[in-house]
Chains A and B, each alone.
Chain A
């Protein structure tokens, strides 16, 4: 309160402050409640939900990890997310670099198509993607009788990567353009090949943009459940789909402990990551990473 921004005394100020606190609580309380509830015993879920757990019942976590397979789903999610990030960077960095720095025929068209792609949401096209993969499986039934494209985490990672290409290239291109060309000129005169210039000069300089892209895409892949639900209908689920199943099952059985433990397993990694990188994430948004 050392820097009054207005010369007039503000009566509404305590009131507005109260409102912000109320909103923050409306977010913190349910999330915190889940953390606490994950340690309750079955009987403690009846009666008032506002009571604290009597003892720390860690068995819920063991149940969630082992019995409800959340441990296994966790590994699937880690695999798919990591692979998706590798795919998207491997194809987007060179493409963005070339779009930003080279004059070639059809560049405008490519840019326009990618821009339009920003507006295509996966939720609309997940059905045709699914049918297309089913079709491919049918065509290859002699080679892979068990199917190859459906229920394949690698294919899921590929779809994740493909659907985030427009956003990724958009962000990277803008950043590449903002890097002065003198660095490349110097490297070129030193005899570096085009490929070398891209990987050893430009890529390290674009680190901030690459980090932003990784963060946004990480959240998108890790949190997705519609595509994973559709493309992995078998037993190899991702964490989110596993949680949805747990959700349905535990609700029906009125047995919540395992469900809340499962939720904590899903929430904690993102929350930790967010705590570490929040500044970067918010800067990334300001720099044009608007993604709904």
Chain B
């Protein structure tokens, strides 16, 4: 739709052929400049930006601020009676045995699941990238499957696995004549947390394996060849080469992992055990949910929410600091 003097037909065929010089008399803004980083017409920018920003503000920023605001009130949610109590909700948390327990459970799950998933994920990724394992594409496919399943499905699968009478696990133990090892996997206060931890590892292992695989794939092959000539074993190569070279990536995933493990534990607990038996698998978010909806103590629930916010942020920060190393380059 060029409005200026028609260029010779031959020139129009060129895909990105432009007019030889900025045509005189045309005063389109940005005409002579590159369109990148244009001081654009504000209307266009606003039109493009506004819908996203409005949605983001209404459904994310405002609710986030509300979590903090509501934590200073006692409020049953539906009544207009909303009383400012300052830090009382937080003080009450300290004496709340159930909250303390949920906190401990969250920390325990976080530690166990993070350590197991990271170590196994790294090991598997190294195995898949370094050893030319036959059928590795199939393994990668299968191991990633839990990550596309919903948490409700995973919870249902694991209750089929853990079921006391007709479960796969106890059934297998019976078949192997190991009846003594049978357990009430989700009903025993001492075991239930580990049963949940296994489900969490089961869900996320493939995801982290694939992440580590992609960062390991970018380590240049020559380094391995050189170290193999020096007689380094694959184990040594892993610790001396692979691990230091993917360290930055590992740190990033660790931060994300902590954030998502807090959430995953909640959704799994919500669908699998409901926090039971007797609060032994309660985690922070499930307790918050309980206070808010079942107990209608919205202010108290939101105080728990603030604690979770602060906690996961703090842990991520600590982990990030503790794992800081001189960046290695290749």
Query: Given A50-B168, A50-B175, A165-B52: A263 and B144 within 8 A (CB)?
Result: no
Query: Given A163-B60, A244-B271: A17 and B133 within 8 A (CB)?
Result: yes
Q: A85: shortest Cβ distance to chain B, in Å?
A: 14
Structural contact, B148 and A286, CB atoms closer than 8 A:
no
Contacts of A94 in B (CB 8 A): 47-49, 51-52
A282 to B84, CA, bound (A): 49
Q: How many residues of B contact A (CB 8 A)?
A: 115
Interface readout for A223-238 with B: 1 if CB under 8 Å, 0 if not?
1111000000000000
A256 to B252, CA, bound (A): 42
A6 to B260, CA, bound (A): 37
Best-buried of B52, B130, B149 by chain A (most CB within 10 Å): B52
Interface readout for A54-91 with B: 1 if CB under 8 Å, 0 if not?
00000000000000000000000000000000010011
Structural contact, B133 and A165, CB atoms closer than 8 A:
no
- B239 within 8 Å of A (CB atoms): no
Query: Given A16-B127, A124-B67: A129 and B59 within 8 A (CB)?
Result: yes
- B324 within 8 Å of A (CB atoms): no
Structural contact, A240 and B152, CB atoms closer than 8 A:
yes
Structural contact, B42 and A104, CB atoms closer than 8 A:
yes
Interface readout for B33-46 with A: 1 if CB under 8 Å, 0 if not?
01111111110110
Main secondary structure of the interface of B (DSSP, over half): helix
Interface readout for A158-183 with B: 1 if CB under 8 Å, 0 if not?
11011101100100000000000111
Query: Given A131-B77, A188-B35: A290 and B66 within 8 A (CB)?
Result: no
Structural contact, A101 and B63, CB atoms closer than 8 A:
no
A91 to B237, CA, bound (A): 47
Q: How many residues of A contact B (CB 8 A)?
A: 111
A132 to B207, CA, bound (A): 35
Structural contact, B267 and A225, CB atoms closer than 8 A:
yes
Query: Which residues in chain B, 296-329, are within 8 Å of chain A measured between CB atoms?
Result: 298, 301-302, 305, 308-309, 313
Contacts of B259 in A (CB 8 A): 119, 121, 292
Of all chain B residues, which has the CB nearest A10?
B234
Main secondary structure of the interface of A (DSSP, over half): helix
Contacts of B90 in A (CB 8 A): none
Q: B83: shortest Cβ distance to chain A, in Å?
A: 16
* Other-chain residue from B34, B41, B172 in contact with A194 (beta carbon distance below 8 A): B41
Structural contact, B77 and A49, CB atoms closer than 8 A:
no
A13 to B27, CA, bound (A): 71
A185 to B78, CA, bound (A): 56
- B134 within 8 Å of A (CB atoms): yes
Structural contact, A165 and B143, CB atoms closer than 8 A:
no
- A140 within 8 Å of B (CB atoms): no
Structural contact, A33 and B160, CB atoms closer than 8 A:
yes
A23 to B149, CA, bound (A): 17
Structural contact, A247 and B52, CB atoms closer than 8 A:
no
Instruction: Give chain A's interface residues, CB within 8 Å of chain B.
Output: 1, 3, 5-8, 10, 13, 16-17, 20-21, 23-24, 26-31, 33-34, 37, 45-50, 87, 90-92, 94-95, 97-99, 101-104, 110, 113-114, 117, 119-121, 123-125, 127-129, 131-132, 134, 158-159, 161-163, 165-166, 169, 181-186, 188-192, 194-195, 197-198, 219, 222-226, 240-241, 243-244, 247, 251, 256, 259-260, 263, 266-267, 270-271, 273-275, 278, 282, 285-286, 290-292
User: 14 A–B contact pairs at CB < 8 A?
Assistant: A1-B132, A5-B132, A10-B131, A30-B160, A45-B166, A50-B168, A102-B37, A125-B60, A127-B298, A181-B34, A186-B15, A256-B166, A282-B144, A292-B256
Nearest 7 CB-CB pairs, A to B? A292-B260, A94-B48, A162-B59, A223-B150, A286-B214, A128-B63, A186-B16
